[in-house]
DNA sequence: TCGTAAGGCGCC
DNA sequence: AAAGGGCGCCTTACGA
């Protein structure tokens, strides 16, 4: 099989853009035009209009593109338009490959970091708002053709040089991520319409409480700090230090003045309603004729390998709870005749941490059916009792929960006061916090040793890259480790998380957190593959949660069985899941 | 008129 | 010595 790089060039302007419309609607927009394709590979070196391309020469071969999500969508569109009928045997995404390698996802950055070639400043930006007919016989047109050919060349080189670095499961996931996005999610339009109206009203009511707002203008200066400050001065009251819910200073301001001057609360209401409104708007605008909406998800969007959101509608941070009576998750529904099964891995990160640290006592307790906080309490000797009864010891339970969730990655006493409050509702003094932190570190010395081991590894990599091998065989990468003089004359250890990217201070706790997140991601990644291999459609996924769109006869226990499989590279680590059926996406 | 930084906030 | 981390996107502010 031969490999051919293909790169489409399309018309775009401010209105006609992927960010505004989403890829599907963009390619079907009135002014859309796929006017050029560059193809490079054995015996083919073509740049020109898609209708003239030598498709017959590359039919049934391997195609690679730098952004399968886009170029693959162009292929689909050209099929619809009857411009081409050729199809690849397989389609490989070099943007996903670049991300997997730890390089920038964009082609210029990837080529620079991985191939060492500097690309000239993006001639594509010069094409904004220009049709191909306008420029095709000009210098700009000729230059643009060369540029497109170069893009295809670099794409091909990326594949040829690094394509074999991805394991089978990673190749599968790269493809699956893109294609699941195209398949998309069915949308309940009636709920969306209702939500849009409700939220619009909330925004209007909120603005009525903002004296700095002029009548009739509902969109600008709503969150203006200077507007708020001016109003406060005119009312002869203090200006709040911030408008954040989490800022104690702001809370005091609200307690003092909030009732008489409900301004900060109104800003917060507006912000929350607006956030939801914008998302609902995307749901509305991106709906396809069949009632579904495609979505974007970035394979390897985070340096730990986790997926990240994309293109205005981020599936990974939809509010869990209804806000102003509007529940955005419930707008995502199964296609007719199907149902959702939502399944998530149970406490995957604490379990993985225990495995990595070699805390077999905790893992054994979990295997024997104890809950993770219970197991932690037993393994550290803070509690002993009947299975499943630990929750009754409310204070101890909250304590164990806070320690498990908050102290595995080096959190100190000061921070733990806040973290324990947030995670377990604890209310402790700093002195008590100090005790708890010390207690955790003493009893979980293996975790502390892991921090130390990772930090030593980092320091020993001075002047080089630091690759932490993951149990799966993949590696967590830190580029170009450099000590930098910090305060008090002690060095701050820094490295890039992305090849050629900015450097961040690193330390044992943080390296440990990355290692755990990356390992948990690998466990989850194999779940996705197993589910699909069993014919269960993974509609989308959120870090440790899959949303399956399946036939009505599929049972939760079958899903749990597939999810709860310990990878062969993580022997002895209990993997569990919780699944439920649903008629819409829900927490 | 643009791009970017910062504050704020949503999720795991 | 001590340090939770990983994202994306809304708005406003600000500078080129």
A562-574 confidence digits (pLDDT tens) = 999 999 999 999 9
Q: What is the mean pLDDT of residues A78-99?
A: 97
Taking the CA of residue A172 and the C1' sugar atom of nucleotide C5, their distance in angstroms comes to: 27
> Is A272 near strand B, with its CB below 7 A from some atom of it?
yes
With distances taken from each CA to the C1' atom of nucleotide B9, the closest residue turns out to be A272
A1-41 confidence digits (pLDDT tens) = 999 999 999 988 877 888 878 899 999 998 899 999 999 99
Q: Which nucleotide is nearest to A242 (CA to C1')?
A: B7
Please report the pLDDT score of residue A266 as a whole number. Answer: 84
Please report the pLDDT score of residue A245 as a whole number. Answer: 81
Closest C-alpha among A301, A300, A297, A299 to residue A311: A297
**Which residues 12-71 of chain A have a CB under 7 Å from nucleic chain B?**
14
Please report the pLDDT score of residue A218 as a whole number. Answer: 62
**Which residues 402-431 of chain A have a CB under 7 Å from nucleic chain B?**
none
Taking the CA of residue A246 and the C1' sugar atom of nucleotide B7, their distance in angstroms comes to: 12
Closest C-alpha among A203, A534, A164, A185 to residue A335: A185
Measure the CA–CA gap between A466 and A499, rounded to whole angstroms.
12
Taking the CA of residue A412 and the C1' sugar atom of nucleotide C1, their distance in angstroms comes to: 11
> Is A303 near strand B, with its CB below 7 A from some atom of it?
no
Closest C-alpha among A183, A189, A200 to residue A330: A189
**Could you report how far apart the first and last alpha carbons of chain A are, in Å?**
45
Higher-pLDDT residue of A134, A349: A349
For the record, the structure tokens of A53 come out as 């391309």
> CB neighbours (10 Å) of residue A19?
12
Q: Say which DSSP state A213 is in.
A: S
Taking the CA of residue A166 and the C1' sugar atom of nucleotide C9, their distance in angstroms comes to: 31
A142-178 confidence digits (pLDDT tens) = 888 998 999 999 999 999 999 999 999 999 999 999 9
Measure the CA–CA gap between A63 and A509, rounded to whole angstroms.
42
Would you say A11 and A35 are in contact if contact means Cβ atoms under 8 Å apart? yes
Residue A302's H or E segment, with its range, is none
> Is A3 near strand B, with its CB below 7 A from some atom of it?
no
Burial of A139 (0-12, 13-18, 19+ CB in 10 A): exposed
Measure the CA–CA gap between A136 and A362, rounded to whole angstroms.
67
What is the three-state SS of A34-77?
EEEEEEEECCEEEEECHHHCCHHHHCCCEEEECCHHHHHHHHHH
Q: Which nucleotides of B are covered by protein (CB under 7 A)?
A: 2, 7-12
For the record, the structure tokens of A524 come out as 């989850």
A439-496 confidence digits (pLDDT tens) = 999 999 999 999 999 999 999 999 999 999 999 999 999 999 999 876 666 778 999 9
Q: Which nucleotide is nearest to A306 (CA to C1')?
A: C6
Taking the CA of residue A311 and the C1' sugar atom of nucleotide C3, their distance in angstroms comes to: 33
Q: Which nucleotide is nearest to A303 (CA to C1')?
A: C6
Q: Which nucleotides of C are covered by protein (CB under 7 A)?
A: 1-13
> Is A247 near strand B, with its CB below 7 A from some atom of it?
yes
Measure the CA–CA gap between A431 and A31, rounded to whole angstroms.
65
For the record, the structure tokens of A538 come out as 């993974």
Measure the CA–CA gap between A494 and A84, rounded to whole angstroms.
50
């Amino acid at each position: 099989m031969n490999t051919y790089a293909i790169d489409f060039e399309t018309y775009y302007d401010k209105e006609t853009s992927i960010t505004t419309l989403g890829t599907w609607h963009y390619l079907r927009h009135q002014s859309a035009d796929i006017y050029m394709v560059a193809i490079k590979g054995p015996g083919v070196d073509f740049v020109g209009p898609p209708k003239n391309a030598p498709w017959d020469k590359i039919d049934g071969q391997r195609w690679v593109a730098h952004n399968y999500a886009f170029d693959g969508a162009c292929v689909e569109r050209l099929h619809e338009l009857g411009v081409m009928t050729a199809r690849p045997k397989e389609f490989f995404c070099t943007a996903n490959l670049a991300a997997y390698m730890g390089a920038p996802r964009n082609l210029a950055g990837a080529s620079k970091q991985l191939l060492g070639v500097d690309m000239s400043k993006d001639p594509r930006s010069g094409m904004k708002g220009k049709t191909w007919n306008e420029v095709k016989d000009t210098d700009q047109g000729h230059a643009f053709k060369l540029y497109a050919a170069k893009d295809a060349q670099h794409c091909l080189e990326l594949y040829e040089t690094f394509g074999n670095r991805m394991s089978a499961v990673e190749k599968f996931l790269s493809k699956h991520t893109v294609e699941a996005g195209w398949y998309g999610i069915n949308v309940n339009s009636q709920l969306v319409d209702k939500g849009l109206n409700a939220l619009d009203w909330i925004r209007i009511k909120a603005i009525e409480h903002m004296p700095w707002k002029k009548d009739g203008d509902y969109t600008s200066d709503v969150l203006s700090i200077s507007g708020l400050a001016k109003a406060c001065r005119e009312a002869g009251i203090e200006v709040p230090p911030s408008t954040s819910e989490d800022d104690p200073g702001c809370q005091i301001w609200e307690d003092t003045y909030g009732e008489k001057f409900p301004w900060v609360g109104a800003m917060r209401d507006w912000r929350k309603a607006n956030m939801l409104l914008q998302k609902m708007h995307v749901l509305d605008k991106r709906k396809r004729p069949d009632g579904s909406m495609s979505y974007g998800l970035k394979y390897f969007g985070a340096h730990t390998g986790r997926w990240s959101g994309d293109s205005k509608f981020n599936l990974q941070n939809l509010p869990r709870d209804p806000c102003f009576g509007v529940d955005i998750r419930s707008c995502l529904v199964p296609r007719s005749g199907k149902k959702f099964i939502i399944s998530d891995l149970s406490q995957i990160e604490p379990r993985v941490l225990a495995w990595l640290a070699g805390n077999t006592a905790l893992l054994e307790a979990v295997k024997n059916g104890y809950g993770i906080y219970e197991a932690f309490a037993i393994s550290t000797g803070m509690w002993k009792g009947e299975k499943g009864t630990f929750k009754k010891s409310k204070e101890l339970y909250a304590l164990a929960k806070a320690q498990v969730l908050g102290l595995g990655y080096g959190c100190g006493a000061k921070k733990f006061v806040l973290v324990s409050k947030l995670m377990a509702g604890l209310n402790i003094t700093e002195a008590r916090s100090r005790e708890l932190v010390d207690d955790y570190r003493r009893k979980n010395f293996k975790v502390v040793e892991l921090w130390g081991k990772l930090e030593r590894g980092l320091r020993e990599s001075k002047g080089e890259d630091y690759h932490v091998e993951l149990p799966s065989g993949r590696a967590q990468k830190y580029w170009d480790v450099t000590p930098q003089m910090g305060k008090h004359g002690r060095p701050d250890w820094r490295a890039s998380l992305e090849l050629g990217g900015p450097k961040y201070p690193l330390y044992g706790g943080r390296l440990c957190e990355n290692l755990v997140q990356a390992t948990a991601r690998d466990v989850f990644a194999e779940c996705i593959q197993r589910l699909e291999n069993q014919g269960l459609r993974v509609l989308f996924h959120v870090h440790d949660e899959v949303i399956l769109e399946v036939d009505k006869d599929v049972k939760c226990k079958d899903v749990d069985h597939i999810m709860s499989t310990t990878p062969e590279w993580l022997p002895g680590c209990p993997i569990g899941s919780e699944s439920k059926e649903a008629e819409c996406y829900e927490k």
